[in-house]
Chains A and B, each alone.
Chain A
Amino acid sequence: MHEMGIANSILEAVQAEAARYPGAGASKVAVRIGELAAVDPDALRFCFEALTRQTEFESLTLEIEFCPRRQRCPTCNAEFDAKDYEFRCLQCGDEHTECIGGDELELAYLELEEYESSTA
């Protein structure tokens, strides 16, 4: 269970980035989690909510893009999502394809809403 540490790292990155936009509040942060990253999306959401509750980030939503394991075939260059540990090339049948994705643990983007001016 290390999702709390991961959630905290996400929040620290949001804080650092949001500080650069003083006239706006962070509304959404998007992350990419690969199936090989050993991070459970539900546990991560739970920890994120626990960390942001009753803070200035209470309304910040977390969007998780789950990334399946991807393989590339060295023979025909086909790229495909691997399912059930089947790594054989879907196009030419080569058995020795290489893993090119699926261990993502990355921040993708942050959405900010500008604060409404009090005189408006």
Chain B
Amino acid sequence: MNRVPLEKKILSENDRIAAELRERFREHGTLCLNLISSPGSGKTSLLERTLETISHNERVAVLTGDIQTENDATRLRRFGFPVKQITTGGTCHLDARMVERHLADWQLQNIGLLFIENVGNLVCPSSYDLGEAAKIVLLSVTEGEDKPLKYPSIFFKSELLVVTKTDLLPYVPFDIDAAEENARRVHPGMEIVRVSCTTGNLTGWLTWLEQRKRAQAARSEAVV
């Protein structure tokens, strides 16, 4: 019997492509953000409200993933920015190769901010690096406040937690402080913002986004 060490990542092929994408994003000063949540937590709504506030001079683009339909891309195209739907045909997450393929005919130097809306799923997307600068996890107040404890991987790997649908707080038995405490148990120091896409309360999110864009610009200038 002969034992040979392998010592590499199981998803090394995905990680290799993701590293190439990350390098291209850095080179072109593109801030890439990977939005992840359960189905129905409000990823598309958050993007709609966000694109609404963004001036058309800004170079923003969206890749949106779903198992089937062009529905999300249709919703997001109304704002006049380039949007491409990735239909996975059954796969429960996006991987780096899908992102690479769908970016092929876009010029990255024309994209300052790239949102990737992952397939609605709190588990599988956490294993696949897409070359993003940050993962962002959304949790709506109609879900359980113990979700960070049940799905620790994605809360651990995400830089920011966006608590959505806060306008519904008076009507649901959701303890928002407990939810945020749970997120910080899994990920001490995690940044958290609260939003409502219905009332338009997006201040915390837009402030975070602005800071992240400035940090990315500073980083890209530093390497030029």
By a beta-carbon cutoff of 8 Å, the part of chain A in contact with chain B is 1-2, 5-6, 9-10, 13, 17, 21, 24, 27, 29, 31, 35-39, 85, 87, 96, 99, 103, 105-114
Contact = CB atoms under 8 A, between A and B. Distances in A.
B101 interface: no
Contact of A105 (B2, B9, B185): B9
Interface in B175-193: 185-186, 188
Nearest to A20: B4
B25 interface: no
Contact of B156 (A31, A36, A108): A36
Interface of B: 1-13, 91-93, 95, 123-124, 126-128, 149, 151-154, 156-157, 185-186, 188
A39 B92 contact: no
A2 B5 CA distance: 25
Contact of B2 (A1, A29, A39, A111): A111
A112 B3 CA distance: 6
A37 B188 CA distance: 18
Contacts of A24: 2
A41 to B, nearest CB: 13
22 contacts: A1-B92, A2-B93, A2-B123, A2-B124, A2-B127, A13-B12, A17-B4, A24-B2, A27-B1, A36-B152, A36-B153, A38-B124, A38-B127, A85-B152, A87-B188, A103-B156, A106-B7, A106-B10, A108-B7, A111-B1, A112-B1, A112-B3
B153 A38 contact: yes
Nearest to A86: B185
A39 B11 CA distance: 12
Contacts of B156: 36, 99, 103
Contacts of A38: 123-124, 126-127, 151, 153-154
Contact of B11 (A9, A35, A96, A112): A9
Nearest to A7: B10
Contacts of B10: 6, 9-10, 13, 31, 105-107
B2 A103 contact: no
Contacts of A27: 1
A13 B6 contact: yes
A37 B153 contact: yes
B91 to A, nearest CB: 8
A10 to B, nearest CB: 6
A109 B3 contact: yes
Contacts of A31: 10
